C-alpha cells in the first residue's frame, strides 16, 4: 500500500489478536512499530522476535494519561516521530444486564475503551500537530456499537463513544492533515471473543452471518492498515464495518 514504508506506527492492544495482526502487516509494509500493551513479554510473545531497529514493545496502561504519554515518548525517543496510530486496546468486560451490572465494572470498561481512546487521541494528535506533517489514526470500535446486543451496556456504550470521538477528532484535525477513521469489527477469533462467549460460543457466533463464520484477526487488520495508508488519503471521519455481513441480518 502507498505511503507506509518508513512510517512510524503506534499500535495499542498489540499483545491481542487484532493488534498483533496489524503489527505484522505494518512491519511487512516497511513501517517501524511501537507495540503497546499491559505486559512487555505478552507483546513479544504475540508479535514474535522482531528486529529491534524496527520494533519496540512498550508496557503501558492506555486508560491513564501517563500510559499514553509513555508510548508517545518511546516512539519519539526510539524512532523520532509518530505518523500512524492504531488506537485498538480494548476489553469486553463482564457481560450482564444493566440492572445487575456493578457500577465499578461499567466504569472499568469505559476507562479502557472510551477514556483510553480519548487519551490516546490527545497524546498522539498533539505530537502529530507538533511535527506538522499530518498523520493517520484508526480507532477500533465494534459492530456491537452499531448493532446493540443484550448484556453489553458498558461495551456498546464505550464503542459508540469511540465513534463519536472519531468524528470529532476528524473534524478538529483535518486542517492539520490528520485523518481519523473508525473500524467496526464483527465477531473475530481472538482471546476477547473466547473470554466473552467461551470457545464453542465464540466459534458459533459467526454461524448466523451471510459469510457463516467469524473473522480472522488478519481480515480486520487488512482494513485498518489500508485506512492508515495513503491509499485512503481522502478518507476521514468514516466508520467502516468488517462484519461478514452482520448489518444485513
Ligand atoms: N474480537 C472481536 O470479536 C472484536 C469485535 C469487535 C471489536 N473488537 C475490538 O478489537 C480490539 C482488539 O481486541 P481483540 O479482539 O484483538 O482482543 P484481545 O483481547 O485479543 O486484545 C485486546 C488487547 O488489549 C489489551 N488491553 C486491555 N486493556 C488494556 C489497557 N488498559 N492498556 C493496554 N492494553 C490493554 C489486552 O491486554 C489485549 O492484549 C478491542 O478494542 C476490541 O473491543 C473485537
Ligand 1 is surrounded, with C-beta below 6 A, by 12-13, 15-19, 37-38, 61-63, 88-91, 112, 116, 140, 142, 185, 187-188, 190-193
The CATH superfamily holding the domain 8-186+223-241 is NAD(P)-binding Rossmann-like Domain (3.40.50.720)
Reported as a single tens digit per residue, the pLDDT across 110-125 is: 999 999 999 999 999 9
Indicate the domain borders of the chain.
8-186+223-241
Reading the block at residue 231, the C-alpha cell is: 491509499
Nearest CA to ligand 1 atom 36: 13
Q: Which of 115, 190, 219, 220 to mutate to test the pocket of ligand 1 (most atoms within 8 A of CB)?
A: 190
Quote the ligand 1 centre to 132 CA distance (angstroms).
30
Reported as a single tens digit per residue, the pLDDT across 237-247 is: 999 999 999 99
The Cα-based distances of 24 to 7, 29, 34, 140, 218 in angstroms read 14, 9, 12, 17, 9
**pLDDT score recorded for residue 231:** 98
Atom of ligand 1 lying closest to residue 15 CA: 39
**pLDDT score recorded for residue 49:** 82
**pLDDT score recorded for residue 50:** 84
Quote the ligand 1 centre to 111 CA distance (angstroms).
13
**Residue 212 — pLDDT band, cuts 50, 70, 90?**
very high
Reported as a single tens digit per residue, the pLDDT across 123-177 is: 999 999 999 999 999 999 999 999 999 999 999 999 999 999 999 999 999 999 9
Say yes or no to pLDDT of 51 above 90.
no
**Residue 58 — pLDDT band, cuts 50, 70, 90?**
very high
How large is the average pLDDT for residues 35-42?
98
Say yes or no to pLDDT of 225 above 90.
yes
Average pLDDT over all residues of the chain: 97
**pLDDT-above-90 percentage for the chain:** 97
Cα separation, 19 vs 25, in Å, equals 10
**pLDDT score recorded for residue 128:** 99
**Residue 95 — pLDDT band, cuts 50, 70, 90?**
very high
Cα of 176 vs its chain's centroid, Å: 22
Q: Which of the residues are catalytic?
A: 155
Amino acid at each position: 500500500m502507498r505511503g507506509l514504508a518508513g512510517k512510524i506506527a503506534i499500535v495499542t492492544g498489540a499483545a491481542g489478536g487484532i493488534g498483533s495482526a496489524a503489527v505484522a502487516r505494518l512491519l511487512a509494509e516497511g513501517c517501524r512499530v511501537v507495540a503497546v500493551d499491559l505486559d512487555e513479554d505478552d507483546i513479544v510473545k504475540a508479535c514474535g522476535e522482531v528486529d529491534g531497529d524496527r520494533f519496540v514493545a512498550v508496557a503501558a496502561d492506555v486508560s491513564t494519561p501517563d500510559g499514553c504519554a509513555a508510548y508517545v515518548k518511546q516512539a519519539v525517543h526510539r524512532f523520532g516521530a509518530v505518523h500512524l496510530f492504531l488506537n485498538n486496546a480494548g476489553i469486553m468486560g463482564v457481560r450482564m444486564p444493566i440492572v445487575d451490572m456493578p457500577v465499578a465494572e461499567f466504569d472499568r470498561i469505559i476507562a479502557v475503551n472510551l477514556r483510553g481512546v480519548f487519551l490516546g487521541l490527545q497524546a498522539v494528535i498533539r505530537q502529530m500537530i507538533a511535527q506538522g506533517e499530518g498523520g493517520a489514526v484508526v480507532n477500533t470500535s465494534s459492530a456491537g456499537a452499531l448493532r446493540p446486543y443484550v448484556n453489553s451496556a458498558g461495551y456498546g456504550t464505550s464503542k459508540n463513544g469511540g465513534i463519536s470521538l472519531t468524528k470529532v477528532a476528524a473534524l478538529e484535525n483535518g486542517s492539520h492533515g490528520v485523518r481519523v477513521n473508525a473500524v467496526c469489527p464483527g465477531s473475530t477469533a481472538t482471546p476477547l471473543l473466547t473470554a466473552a462467549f467461551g470457545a464453542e460460543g465464540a466459534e458459533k457466533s459467526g454461524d448466523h452471518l451471510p459469510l457463516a463464520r467469524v473473522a480472522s484477526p488478519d481480515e480486520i487488520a487488512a482494513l485498518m492498515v489500508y485506512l492508515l495508508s495513503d491509499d485512503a488519503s481522502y478518507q476521514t471521519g468514516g466508520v467502516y464495518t468488517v462484519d461478514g455481513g452482520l448489518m444485513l441480518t
